[in-house]
Amino acid sequence: MTSTASVAEPQPNPPIQPPQLVNVRGFVQRLLQNRTWLILFVLLDIFVVYSIATQPEVTKVWDYVFPGLAATIRITIISFVVAVVIGLIVAFGRISKNIIIYNLSTLYVELFRGLPLLVIILIFNFVLTPALVSFVVGESDNGNNANIPFLDDLLQRLVGIPEDQISTTVLRTRDIDPELRIMLAFAVTYGAFMSEVFRAGIESIGRGQIEAGRSLGMTYIQVMYYIILPQAVRNVLPALANNFVFLLKDTSLASAVAVPEISYLTRQYSSNNFRYPEGLLVLAFLYANLTIVLSFASVYLENRLHKDRIGAR
């Protein structure tokens, strides 16, 4: 007895869908769910830009305030770089086994983290700067003979006194630019905060890596430079980026000592022309765009670091 096997009829192939490069619907859904605030912010930006372009009073404020943006960015970058250097040095002092170094570093951190930033700015501007000039020049800064001539000449060169005038004059308090004073105030203040960031980053690295490096014959400095610091800096990069954003916003306090950055110029124009709404609109526009762009850069950096770590595993 033979049986005939049933053969299934071939099914027609489904139509080939053209490749979709971008899932537009999914992209729009994710954008509305996670970035609705960004859409609203862009709309506000468009409104402000339109006001600057079409309303004469807002245009005048923009033309007056915008040049101060260079001072704001310059103060932020220079202060941040100096603060990173100070913070790294103090962080090593905070983990030092030397009692004197540890206590001096801790005193610095606690003191500058405990004082309001505005108070530190006023101290640097009205107390420490005149005291430095008085120490170098003497009781009066109106004469032509300094108590410490070589230091007087050095400071005059640093603050930009012409070379042909250095030998015939002495350093005066007004010769030290308020912008330089504010940079030093920001640097030493944020240096205290940076030191704690670096200290946490260094202590997050396992002690065994230090011992392994020492067992290979490396000195303590070599272990820190080649093994610990590269990992610690990588761990604290997002925190450093956040501190950069905070420092940018705190530059508005420079207006307290008449540094011509955007906050001071806005206040000056608004008070002289009684145009506070227009002035504050432009000021908020500048700060908001700067900080949001930097915040996005910080988030991108953090996500990139997480991806690299996941890929390394």
Do residues 87 and 240 lie in contact, with contact meaning Cβ atoms separated by under 8 Å?
Answer: no
Q: What is the pLDDT of residue 151?
A: 84
3-state secondary structure 94-140: HCCCCHHHHHHHHHHHHHHHHCCHHHHHHHHHHHHHHHHHHHHHCCC
Q: Rounded to 5 degrees, what angle do the CA atoms 154, 158, 160 make?
A: 120
Structural tokens at position 213: 């490096």
Nearest to 282 by CA among 16, 68, 11: 68
DSSP states along 225-256: IIIIHHHHHHHHHHHHHHHHHHHHHHGGGGGG
The letter for the amino acid at 219 is: T
3-state secondary structure 145-209: CCCCHHHHHHHHHHCCCCHHHHCCCCCCHHHCCHHHHHHHHHHHHHHHHHHHHHHHHHHCCCHHH
pTM: 0.82
- Domain over 49-312 is classified CATH 3.40.50.11540: no
Give burial (CB, 10 Å; 0-12/13-18/19+) of 310.
exposed
CA distance 91 to 248: 23
Name the helix (H) or strand (E) containing 47. Answer: helix 36-54
Q: What is the pLDDT of residue 269?
A: 93
Q: Where are the domains of the chain?
A: 49-312
Nearest to 64 by CA among 301, 269, 281: 269
pLDDT in 10s for each residue of the chain, 313 residues: 455 555 555 556 655 555 555 566 665 566 566 678 888 889 999 999 999 999 999 999 999 999 999 999 999 999 999 999 999 999 989 988 899 999 999 999 999 999 999 999 999 999 998 888 888 887 654 556 677 887 888 888 888 888 878 877 888 888 888 999 999 999 999 999 999 999 988 888 877 777 788 787 788 778 887 788 888 888 888 888 889 999 999 999 999 998 999 999 999 999 998 889 999 999 999 999 999 998 888 888 777 776 655 555 5
DSSP assignment letter at 278: H
- Chain position carrying tokens 């007895």: 1
Q: Rounded to 5 degrees, what angle do the CA atoms 73, 77, 81 make?
A: 170
Question: Would residue 4 be called left, alpha or beta, if left means φ above 0 and alpha means ψ between -120 and 50 degrees?
Answer: beta
Question: Would residue 20 be called left, alpha or beta, if left means φ above 0 and alpha means ψ between -120 and 50 degrees?
Answer: beta
Q: Which residues contact 303 (CB under 8 A, 6 or more apart)?
A: none
Radius of gyration of the chain measured on its C-alpha atoms: 29
Q: What is the pLDDT of residue 254?
A: 92
Q: What is the pLDDT of residue 312?
A: 52
Nearest to 189 by CA among 77, 82, 104: 82
